[in-house]
Each structure stands twice: as C-alpha cells, then as structure tokens.
Amino acid sequence: MTVLLDTHMWVWWLLGSDRLPKNERAALDRLASRGALRLAAVSLWEAQMLHAKSRLTLNRPFDTWIRDAAAAGVVQIVPLDVEVVIALNGLPASFHGDPADRLIVATSRAHRIPLATHDREIRRSRTTTLWKAG
C-alpha cells in the first residue's frame, strides 16, 4: 500500500509531534521503510508558508530541513500534473476553500492514493479514500 500524506501528517511524523497517535506513527514508519509514502508537491509550499508565518518551528535552517524532509528516502513527491488539475476540476464547489487542501485531495483522487489526514473537513467530505493505520 502507498499513502499520500497531508501536510500536517508529514510534519507531525517528521518532527515527532505527540499530535500523531503512536499507532499511526508506527504505521508510517513501516510504510517509509518500504518507500511507500507520497507527498503532494503543494505540501512543500505549504510547509514554507507555515515556516514563514512562524507556525512551523524547526531546529535547523528551513532550506536544510525541507531538503531532508522531502528526500527520496523519506517521501516521494507527487507533482502537480494534468491529472491532478482534472481531479481538482471534479471536486464539488462546496468542498474546502483552502487551495492547498483542494490540491492535496485532488492529488489523492487523481493518483488513487489513500490520504492520511486528520483534517475534519476533508474526512467528513468523503471526497477521497482515507488511510487508516493498522
């Protein structure tokens, strides 16, 4: 199984946040060891925005952290491509106004990769397949 990480899941996992339940952390660690974690390209931008707004505190310079966090041995980046844009066009107009969340869900749909997220609005929307640890 391959899993697409929502931005917060990726950050929580990498930074060891206690907001990520232990069973999910263990499952993500197992998936990472098999090279099965994916990240939508927009999450790179979202991490930079969080850092710029001081909502992402790091123990090293951002450029070093982002290179390490997005390295091929950690996650594989799923680009914004034509299929993602087509999937984006297919999302209900009422779904989530946040452009990054819309792109992440569209990436999940376009590439048929379950999404790991704690975002309540995404979870309630039932617009994509959700990952369940275990």
Structural domains in the chain (count): 1
Q: Taking the CB of residue 7, how many other CB atoms lie within 10 A of it?
A: 23
Residues in a beta bridge with 3 = 37
Tell whether 29 is covered by a domain. yes
| CATH number of domain containing 16 | 3.40.50.1010
Tell whether 130 is covered by a domain. no
Rounded to two decimals, the pTM is 0.96
* pLDDT, tens digit (0-9, with 9 covering 90-100), for 59-118: 999 999 999 999 999 999 999 999 999 999 999 988 978 999 999 999 999 999 999 999
Distances (CA, A) of 73 to 9, 51, 69, 76: 17, 23, 9, 8
Tell whether 133 is covered by a domain. no
